[in-house]
């Protein structure tokens, strides 16, 4: 099994050969919340013809504000890891034992949405309509909005949603109050991006299965699993309804998350053991209050089970990406099954491609009896 990475600069031109030869390693952070980031590490000697500056530092394509797209291929799997802009450059001068090291750091294209602050009103618009309107303004970055509709009856005639800050900050704020996520999903081809604003992608097509070492057939290098039985939270209390002026009860009875991943969701299995918190948001009508309370409960169920670990992409035979869904086998009945991929860090150096991952779900136990086996190079499982 082999792998390769490529850099597209500006954004469509391949990086020149001298630049790829100087590239020592790279790291890309993917998660379900904007922004995502990258770092390129170059090692280079100070050649006689570079009396004025290092070639990497002087390259116009590697200056702050320049666009870079990073893609990776493992076997037959290819993915756009990130599409972004350079924000920082750092020089570590040479020593007697080491060459100069130059670090080029950046964020995904959403960094352009974080440059200017605005004071904007969005009268008679739901959160999803606002999110769609903002994302549509950034089509020049190749962003196509993918927005999940929120309930239209949550529009208030007594208050107007107002943005005070950057577009990226406001999109994250709107997502959080609905238990949604906002992120930029690069691809499927270089130069294109999806602006995703909606619930965690727990119903996505599963990626190739992760396997804990089973008679030498595993693709996971390390794994740590944790269960938090008190993570799910129920909400109750009173809200002064802005429509009627009456104090009305607010109560949540469970999660509305779609795409059940655990056979035994903690919130459903142990209601008597779950924390109950008072609802303390005011200035809302009863429908808005119920939606806000439900969002708090839904978000609390996301972190009941958390898995962190590392995998070897060459043994995996593919590229794990976030956000998404992946299956795990070989960890036992409690922790096997499907998970939501919340975060992946791609660390690529010469001859090695390691991925660190963070997976979550709402409880223990698998919803399926078997998982597909990922075939390794040579046909071995």
312-338 pLDDT, tens per residue?
999 999 999 999 999 999 999 999 999
Same structural domain, 336 and 354 = yes
The answer to whether the predicted template modeling score (pTM) of the entire model surpasses 0.85 is yes
* Count of domains forming the chain: 4
Same structural domain, 214 and 316 = yes
Give per-residue burial for 301-317: e unless 16+ CB within 10 Å, then b: bbebbbbbbebbbbbbb
pLDDT value of position 312: 95
Burial of 116 by CB count in 10 Å (0-12 exposed, 13-18 middle, 19+ buried)?
exposed
Q: Phi and psi of 242, rounded to 5°?
A: -70, -15
What is the rounded distance in angstroms from the CA atom of residue 301 to the CA atom of residue 362? 5
Q: Phi and psi of 145, rounded to 5°?
A: -70, 135
pLDDT value of position 376: 45
Same structural domain, 213 and 318 = yes
The neighbour count for residue 282, using CB atoms within 10 Å, is 10
Same structural domain, 313 and 222 = yes
Query: 65 preceded by cis ω (within 30°)?
Result: no
Same structural domain, 282 and 257 = yes
Burial of 224 by CB count in 10 Å (0-12 exposed, 13-18 middle, 19+ buried)?
exposed
Same structural domain, 253 and 329 = no
Same structural domain, 222 and 336 = yes
CATH (domain of 21): 2.30.300.10
Same structural domain, 215 and 313 = yes
The last residue of one of the domains, among 109, 127, 158, is 109
pLDDT value of position 98: 83
Terminal-residue alpha carbon distance, the chain: 14
Task: Give the CB-side neighbour count of residue 31, counting CA atoms within 13 A.
Answer: 13
Same structural domain, 346 and 220 = yes
Same structural domain, 131 and 220 = no
The last residue of one of the domains, among 60, 85, 109, is 109
Alpha carbon separation from 26 to 40, 228, 233, 312 (Å, rounded)? 5, 34, 39, 15
- Name the stretches of the chain with pLDDT < 50: 375-381
pLDDT digits (tens, 9 = 90+) for 235-264: 999 999 988 889 999 999 889 998 899 999
Same structural domain, 95 and 117 = no
The last residue of one of the domains, among 179, 198, 217, is 198
pLDDT value of position 380: 35
What is the rounded distance in angstroms from the CA atom of residue 380 to the CA atom of residue 57? 45
Is beta strand 305-312 parallel, antiparallel or unpaired with respect to 118-121? unpaired
Domain that holds residue 79: 3-109
Based on C-alpha coordinates, what's the Rg of the chain? 23
What is the rounded distance in angstroms from the CA atom of residue 65 to the CA atom of residue 60? 10
Alpha carbon separation from 302 to 204, 267, 340 (Å, rounded)? 16, 11, 9
Task: Give the bridge partners for 103, in sequence order.
Answer: 41, 90
Same structural domain, 86 and 31 = yes
């Amino acid at each position: 099994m082999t792998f390769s990475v490529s850099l597209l600069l500006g954004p469509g031109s391949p990086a020149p050969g001298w630049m790829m030869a100087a590239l020592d390693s790279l790291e890309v952070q993917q998660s379900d919340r904007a922004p995502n980031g990258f770092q390129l590490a170059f090692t280079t000697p100070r050649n006689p013809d570079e009396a004025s500056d290092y070639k990497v530092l002087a390259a116009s394509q590697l200056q702050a504000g320049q666009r870079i797209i990073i893609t990776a291929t493992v076997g037959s799997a290819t993915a756009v890891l990130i599409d972004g802009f350079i924000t920082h450059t750092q020089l570590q001068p040479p020593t007697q034992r080491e060459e100069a090291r130059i670090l080029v750091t950046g964020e995904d294209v959403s960094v352009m949405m974080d440059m200017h602050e605005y004071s904007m009103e969005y009268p008679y618009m739901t959160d999803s309509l606002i999110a769609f309107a903002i994302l549509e303004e950034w089509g020049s970055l190749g962003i196509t909005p993918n927005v999940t509709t929120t309930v239209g009856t949550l529009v208030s005639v007594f208050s107007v949603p107002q943005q005070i800050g950057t577009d990226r900050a406001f999109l994250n704020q709107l997502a959080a109050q609905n238990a949604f996520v906002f992120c930029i999903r690069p691809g499927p081809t270089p130069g294109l991006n999806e602006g995703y604003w909606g619930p965690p992608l727990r119903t996505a097509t599963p990626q190739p299965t992760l396997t804990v070492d089973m008679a030498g057939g595993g693709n996971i290098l390390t794994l740590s699993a944790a269960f938090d039985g008190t993570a799910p939270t129920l909400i109750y209390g009173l809200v002064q309804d802005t429509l009627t002026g009456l104090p009305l009860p607010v109560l949540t009875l469970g999660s509305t998350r779609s795409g059940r991943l655990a056979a035994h969701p903690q919130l459903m299995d142990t209601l008597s053991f779950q924390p109950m918190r008072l609802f303390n948001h005011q200035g809302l009508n009863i429908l808005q209050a119920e939606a806000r309370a439900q969002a708090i409960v839904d978000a609390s169920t996301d972190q009941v089970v958390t898995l962190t670990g590392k995998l070897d992409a060459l043994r995996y035979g593919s590229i794990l990406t976030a956000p998404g869904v992946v299956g795990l086998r070989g960890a036992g009945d409690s922790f096997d099954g499907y998970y939501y991929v919340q975060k992946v860090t791609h660390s690529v150096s010469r001859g090695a491609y390691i991925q660190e991952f963070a997976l979550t779900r709402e409880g223990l136990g698998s919803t399926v009896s078997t998982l597909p086996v990922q075939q390794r190079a040579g046909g071995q499982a």
